[in-house]
Amino acid sequence: MSSTAVGVEETRQSSLVPMIIIGVLFFIFGFVTWLNGPLITFVKLAFNLDDVGAFLVPMAFYLSYFFLALPSSFILKRTGMKKGMGLGLFVMAIGAVLFGQFVTMRVYPGALTGLFVIGAGLSLLQTASNPYISILGPIDSAAQRIAFMGICNKVAGALAPFVFGAVVMSNIGSFDKQIAAAGSPGEKDALLAAFAAKVHMPYMVMAGLLVVLAIWVVRSSLPEIKPSGANSERAIGHAKGSIFSFPHLWLGVLCLFVYVGVEVMAGDAIGTYGQGFGMTPEDTKHFTSYTLFAMLLGYIAGLLLIPKFVSQQKYLALSAILGVIFSIGTYMTTGYTAVGFVAALGFANAMMWPAIFPLAIKGLGALTEFGSAFLIMGIAGGAIIPVAFAHLKQSYNFQAVFLCLMVPCYLYILYYGAAGHRVGQHIKD
């Protein structure tokens, strides 16, 4: 065996353990993140809210990325990626305790604070883990590695609504009837309090598991990787140390903003979309899982096709075209067929994050962590676009609002995959 072949084999073996550890982390934040879909229905019932009030759930969760991603990059500079991931898990545990406690007390602002803290821990975790897996191997095959992480993430995400449905949302149809038949405000309030308290123990258990995982990650064999040495081989203009010298990064930040917006619309808003056709909470409680199953299929397709048959940027463009087609399908049909098109958007969305992130940080060198933080801030799109949907559908047809929000987002993603990722670069794909 040649020395080159030995070197390749050693590289594969040395990256296997880190990929397994990061895969576990992606599973965890996939499970936590995709609880937001069923949580929207849950808080709507537990706190007697309208859709606008219930959609504060994803808003509080995803806004934390905007406010805390940049501080996360400075924290990671001091702690290193490994300890930073452990710290992120610990912060998530604190948020889980706060959420479970405040929901049980039926204090909605406190519950939103808990979700914000969970998002804060995730912003630290993602600011570390996404560039870590991107630069663990060649940047041009990063989408394939992130696709593997995405499978871990989406398997967890698909399981989350079923677990939450079994533990918290079981018999939701009969609960609705009990609320309607309540003879007095006091009786109704007691029923709602008992329903809200069902999340307390699951979130306490989640907090304990997150603490255990934090200790495991910090004490694991996960190696430290210095982005400055692992992501500087691409010649991209003359940065001269300025993050503003990388226009492809800033176009990528906007691309991630609109991408996360459409991803959350397809995954978290699908239940509300179905209820627009008169479906009940019992009918829609597993709809988020359908989107996640479609995303899982998309990740598998990406693993098989990238980069052997198609580049990550071309696959991104093709995915955006599918997004436009499926979005039109949601408007042209009704009932379960329309909901099916919303779920199918999961397939179109699957490989977008794995393609956008490495394209946007390509060649940043010592600025990789800083640039990654700005990209993580783009996750705030998951706070803005779904809330815009909740507000606008009060005055306009919900299907038309969905279409008008989704199609422009996918067209911009198409632009970034086709041309935007090359702006300011002096290289060819």
Distance between terminal CA atoms of the chain?
32
- Give the model confidence (pLDDT) of 369-381 as tens digits: 788 888 889 999 9
Mean pLDDT of 288-308: 86
Is residue 406 predicted with pLDDT exceeding 90?
A: yes
| pLDDT at residue 120, as a whole number | 92
Helix axes 3-33, 108-134, angle to 10 degrees: 170
Full-model pTM: 0.81
Question: Cβ distance 250 to 373 under 8 Å?
Answer: no
Tell whether 233 is covered by a domain: no
What percent of the chain stands above pLDDT 90?
42
Is residue 3 predicted with pLDDT exceeding 50?
A: no
Higher pLDDT, 57 or 239: 57
Higher pLDDT, 293 or 132: 293
CA atoms within 13 A on the CB side of 287: 35
Alpha helices in 56-199 (DSSP H): 56-104, 108-134, 142-167, 172-181, 185-196
The CATH number of whichever domain residue 309 belongs to comes to: 1.20.1250.20
- Domain of residue 80, residue span: 7-220+243-422
| pLDDT at residue 20, as a whole number | 82
Distance CA 93, CA 84 (A): 14
Distance CA 199, CA 11 (A): 44
- Give the model confidence (pLDDT) of 122-134 as tens digits: 988 887 777 677 6
Is residue 412 predicted with pLDDT exceeding 80?
A: yes
Higher pLDDT, 296 or 11: 296
Is residue 403 predicted with pLDDT exceeding 60?
A: yes
In this structure, of 1-5, 97-101, 198-202, 242-246, the range with the lowest mean pLDDT score is 1-5
- Give the model confidence (pLDDT) of 67-120 as tens digits: 988 888 788 878 888 888 899 999 999 999 999 999 999 999 999 999 999 999
Is residue 249 predicted with pLDDT exceeding 50?
A: yes
Q: What is the mean pLDDT of the chain?
A: 84
Question: Cβ distance 68 to 123 under 8 Å?
Answer: yes
| pLDDT at residue 83, as a whole number | 87
Tell whether 360 is covered by a domain: yes
Tell whether 51 is covered by a domain: yes
Tell whether 235 is covered by a domain: no
Residues 6+ apart with CB under 8 A from 130: 146, 357, 372, 375, 376
Residues 6+ apart with CB under 8 A from 57: 36, 39, 40, 43, 112, 115
Mean pLDDT of 318-338: 96
Higher pLDDT, 261 or 189: 261
Q: How many domains, the chain?
A: 1
